[in-house]
Amino acid sequence: MKVLISAKLNPDGVAVLRGYKGIEVEEIAPVNGDELVAKLEGCAALIVRSESKVTADILEQTRGLRVIGRAGTGYDNIDAKAAAAKGIAVLIAPGGNTVTTAEHTLGLMFAMARHIPQANEKLHKGEFDRKLVGFELTGKTLGVLGLGNIGAVVADRALGLKMKVIGYDPVISQERAREIGVDLLPLDEVIKRADILTLHTPVLPETRHLVGKRAFEICKPGMRLINCARGGLVDEAALLEALNSGKCGGAALDVFEKEPPGADHPLVMHPKVVCTPHLGASTIDAQEKVGEIICRNVGNFLTGKDYVGRVN
Ligand code: 9EZ
């Protein structure tokens, strides 16, 4: 059985896959379109990160593919429905990114609270600006929308900082919320009470523009927003308006509706925005974990052993 890896994966992960009896591996730099179709000839499995787009059109042109592994958790670059229709499983690497993404969220929270990027930029230009006054996190209310793996770690770390943590998630139980120390409240109540709101949900029809015009109407004046999840969760036009009116006091963004957002994007250029280019999952540690998890997952799937994280 041949596995095509259309991505740069951690070598330890690839070694795991090569260790399975009857599995043969081909590693290539990420490809797309006709090139991907050609490379998939004779393959039982495909592993990608985010670069290769596995569209319905590509799936339509393949034969013999049984499983697609996504080295990560979000899988918006794979048409999982079209895959299911062809009987192809889509597996993700649950957990591998969790701590790394949660830590980036906290990093952006501190950066925003103390204007660290702006201060750094000014100092690099020779300006010693001591008027950049921040605010303390201790005692502030953090609203966490989405209390899955990442949201739960963010909540845990924020409790360690002595923040008050409230949250909303339509699928977790009160018991689980108690376990992670979060006060579970209705969605609007979280948005109304939060000093800082952080997003940790997938983009679904019901979460698209979860933070938009209405959220900025009901939130506290000066609420800060953090988005280390997916660009589509935030209505960028509404955020820009709220930043300009002051209703939103600042935003920390790792993700954008269109990526890359373009050098002149009004949010990227905004003085109240600190931002990073979708680096949430980008640590050595997460890449190692995710590579090993997805390779073991795909190897197990192909050899009839237990696997986790099937999404279709
Ligand atoms: C979370 C969600 C919606 C949500 C919806 C689904 C897993 N998940 N999370 C926070 N299906 C609104 C706010």
Q: DSSP secondary structure string, the chain?
A: -EEEEES---HHHHHHHHTSTT-EEEEES---HHHHHHHTTT-SEEEE-SSS-B-HHHHHT--S--EEEESSS--TTB-HHHHHHTT-EEE--TTTTHHHHHHHHHHHHHHHHHTHHHHHHHHHTT---TT------TTPEEEEE--SHHHHHHHHHHHHTT-EEEEE-SS--HHHHHHTT-EE--HHHHHHH-SEEEE-----TTTTTSBSHHHHHHSPTTEEEEE-S-GGGB-HHHHHHHHHHTSEEEEEES--SSSS--TT-TTTT-TTEEE-SS-TT--HHHHHHHHHHHHHHHHHHHTT-----B--
Query: How many angstroms does the Cα of residue 24 sit away from the middle of ligand 1?
Result: 39
**Which is catalytic among the residues 70, 230, 265, 296?**
230
Q: What's the CATH class of domain 2-96+284-302? A: alpha beta
Q: What is residue 263's predicted lDDT score, i.e. its pLDDT?
A: 85
- Would residue 60 show up in a list of annotated catalytic residues for this protein? no
For ligand 1, say whether the CB of 234 is within 6 Å of any of its atoms: no
- pLDDT value at residue 264: 94
Among 35-39, 137-141, 202-206, 236-240, the least confident range: 202-206
What does the pLDDT read at residue 276? 98
Determine what percent of the chain is predicted with pLDDT higher than 70. Answer: 100
The reply to whether ligand 1 has any atom less than 6 angstroms from the CB of 151 is: no
Instruction: Tell me the average pLDDT across 281-292.
Output: 96
Residue 74 predicted with pLDDT over 90: no
Alpha carbon of 12 to ligand 1 centroid (Å) = 34
Indicate if 259 belongs to the active site.
yes
Q: Does domain 98-275 have CATH number 3.30.420.40?
A: no
Per-residue pLDDT band for 267 (boundaries 50, 70, 90) equals: very high
pLDDT digits (tens, 9 = 90+) for 101-128: 999 999 999 999 999 999 999 999 999 9
174-209 confidence digits (pLDDT tens): 999 999 999 999 999 999 999 999 999 999 999 999
What percent of the chain is modeled with pLDDT above 90? Answer: 97
Residue extent(s) of CATH 3.40.50.720 domains in the chain: 2-96+284-302, 98-275
To test the pocket of ligand 1, the residue of 154, 168, 201 to mutate (highest count of ligand atoms within 8 Å of its CB) is 201
Q: Average model confidence (pLDDT) for the chain?
A: 97
Q: Of 200, 224, 278, 296, which one is the catalytic site residue?
A: 278
Name the residue with the closest Cα to ligand 1, atom 3: 207
**What's the confidence (pLDDT) of residue 139?**
98
| Ligand 1 site, residue 210, Cβ cutoff 6 A | yes
* Model confidence, pTM: 0.92
pLDDT digits (tens, 9 = 90+) for 294-306: 999 999 999 999 9
Mean pLDDT of 233-260: 98
